[in-house]
Structure 1
Amino acid sequence: MKSFNIYLVLAAFATIAFTQSCVEGEDLVTPNVASPVLVLLEGSSFDSLSLVTVGSRFLELDKTNILDHTKGIDSIPVPNLNITVFINNTTEVAKLVTDAGGSAELVVSWADLGLAEATGGNQIRLEFAGTHKNTAFRKYHTVIVEKVD
């Protein structure tokens, strides 16, 4: 019975120490910030001879009526938003600006994405980055070369 009590006391101290180390003034290693926009991307699989065309739409979510089930959250297009598209985190591929409906279309070749010879199964990770209301955001999207039979 004594050994059980010792383990119980040790477990209680470990729990308290762990809780204190997580709570008291500790910052996250990577701070999480909610994206200021909702990013919708469309188009992910293309044959090796066609252009890579990714449609994008950027919306701001108005949560004013979130508690009113008859209205809910409203999606408002974000016009004139500057978007930069990257590959490999740093290589800029294109600059886009959204239209009045919050849409922008990326149209590039596989060569522009660094694939001199696009073969089936190759993948490229695109990053759509921008800033809205002084908050930076980044959305990742993978495009794939379709395999030809």
Structure 2
Amino acid sequence: MKKFIKTPFLLVALFVMLLAQSCVETDDLVTPNVASPVLILLDGSSFSSTSSVSVNSMTYELDKTNILDHTLGIDSIPVSNLNLEVYIETTTKVASLTTDTNGSADLEITWGELGIDEPTSGTQVRLEFAGSYKDIAFRKYHTVTVE
């Protein structure tokens, strides 16, 4: 008889605990997801060990005014005079760039400046292009590889 009473009691207790856990309210995310204010297109990802690293960036603001009109669509407007900082390992700043009137900025840097004294084939470095546009910070990641 005791075994018959214990089983339903345990099942009810388990159900109540699960129900209580599913009703926990949480605050908003600690770091809210915000869409990047700019589109950054990066070109250049594989370089020989004897050459320098050359990455071209094109920065655009996306005008979504006509997003619902399929004949017009989204317009890409180059962002000029935008300061970009290039980092490796998230905190080590290796370069500062400024976009020109076409939204373009070129990074020319050596493997040594990227922390690789003896580049060998397959070695990779993750670059982080960071900046702020209209008071919204953004970061774009790009990997360069030794051929």
TM-score range, shorter chain: 0.7 to 0.9
Alignment RMSD (CA, Å): 2.0
* Corresponding residue for residue 39 of structure 1: 40
Matches within 5 A, 1:12-91: 14=18, 17-18=21-22, 20-21=23-24, 24=25, 26-91=27-92
Normalising by structure 2, what TM-score? 0.85
Match of 1:10 among 2, 15, 19: 15
Say which one has the larger Rg. Answer: 2
User: Runs of 4 or more off by more than 4 Å in structure 1?
Assistant: 13-17
Task: Determine helix, strand or coil for the equivalent of 2:137.
Answer: strand
Identity of aligned residues (%): 60
CA deviation string 1:22-46 (max 9, x = no partner)? xx45111332111000111111000
1:55 and 1:70, CA in 2 relative to 1: closer, same or farther beyond 3 A? Answer: same
CA deviation string 1:73-130 (max 9, x = no partner)? 1111000000000001111111000011101010100001011111111110000000
Normalising by structure 1, what TM-score? 0.84
Q: Which amino acid aligns with 2:56?
A: G
User: Would you say how many aligned residue pairs link Structure 1 and Structure 2?
Assistant: 138
Q: Where do 5+ consecutive residues of structure 2 fail to align?
A: 1-7
